[in-house]
Amino acid sequence: MDHIPDGKKGIADKIHENQPKISPHNSLDNDDVRKFKGRARARQESVFTRFKSFGCLKQRFRHAMTNHQMHVHAVAVIITFEFECGSPLFDI
C-alpha cells in the first residue's frame, strides 16, 4: 500500500475492500469500469502464475528467509525482462 501514490488506487479482490487505497469490485460500477477492473485482475493473476511456474517458488523453501527474498527478486527481474522483450501477458 505504501507504494501507491496519493490520489491513486489499486485494483484488488473484494477481500481488500476496507483498504483506503484499493478499489474492489463494486456493484455500482458501470460496464466499462467493471471490464477494466476485470482485465486488471486478470493481468495480475497472469503475473502470479508466472511466479508460480518457477520451481524455487513453487516448492517448499528450505533455506533462510534472506535467500527466499533474493529468489523472489531474481524471479521478478526475469519476469520483468520477459515483458520488456515482448513476451505477452496472455497467451494468444
Mean pLDDT score across all residues of the chain: 82
The residues pairing with 10 across neighbouring beta strands, listed in sequence order, are: 22
Q: What's the average model confidence in pLDDT over 6-19?
A: 82
Please state, in angstroms and rounded to a whole number, the distance separating the CA atoms of residues 75 and 51. Answer: 7
Q: Cβ(89)–Cβ(83) under 8 Å?
A: yes
Model confidence pTM above 0.75: no
| Residues above pLDDT 90, as percent of the chain | 3
**Across residues 24-41, what is the average pLDDT?**
86
Residue 88 pLDDT greater than 80, yes or no: no
| Model pLDDT for residues 42-83, shown as the tens digit of each residue | 888 888 888 888 877 777 777 777 787 888 888 899 988 988
pLDDT of 92 = 46
